[in-house]
Amino acid sequence: MSPVIFELWKDAFSLLLTGAAIKTMDDSLDAPSAPSACLTEQPGALAYALLFLAGGAGLNAALAISLFFAAYAIGMAYDLTEKMPSGLYGYQESLLVAGVGAALFGWAEMLGSLLVIACIQLLDDLRDQTEDRLSGQKNLARRYGQVEIALLGTILLLAAARLALVKAVLTILASLVITALVDHYGRRGEERRLDYDL
């Protein structure tokens, strides 16, 4: 296998593991008290999130950690004025984490990660409009309109591709794979639980 192809596979696996870590952390923060059939929503899932992140960072530290920082910064930016356990407001934590990421990995790496994660977040909002309406969670597609958010997501993706094409494409692909896996196993587990309850 040529070194370039080997590096690509390494990056792809690193992204898959980091994506799994982000998804697991996100789901366990969203529903910490509701045990679910899906691994990412179970109460002890945070330990798996750390394991996935360590694996991803072992394969490509700059890629994995900058994406994780970006996911944290974007996630906290959703609760701009909410006070976090650290005592800082959401936007202050976002700026701090993005700044630390830029200092550690360079502004281009961090900006690329922020752009691609923001794009994934917008795509997620477009997909989850009905669920978010029922659960009362913040959703930018419902607030600002579907077309606006779809256009903004495309612009962010193009900007991310301009900075780092391979990283942007691989990250979007990894997010699609993880979403499909979580949907598949989540639904299968839910069906099994319903069968058991009946």
Q: Which is nearer to other proteins, 50 or 158 (CB)?
A: 158
Residues lying near other proteins in the complex (CB under 8 A): 144-145, 147-148, 151-152, 154-155, 158-159, 161-162, 165
CB 59 within 8 A of CB 11: yes
Q: Which is nearer to other proteins, 115 or 182 (CB)?
A: 115
CB of 162 to other proteins, least distance (A): 5
CB of 151 to other proteins, least distance (A): 4
Tokens 């690509």 correspond to what residue? 8
CB of 168 to other proteins, least distance (A): 11
CB of 66 to other proteins, least distance (A): 21
- Angle, in degrees to the nearest 10, between helices 61-77 and 90-105: 160
Comparing CA positions, the residue from 195, 186, 185, 174 lying closest to residue 34 is 186
Q: Which is nearer to other proteins, 75 or 153 (CB)?
A: 153
Q: Which is nearer to other proteins, 82 or 148 (CB)?
A: 148
Burial class (CB within 10 angstroms; exposed 0-12, middle 13-18, buried 19+) of 171 = buried
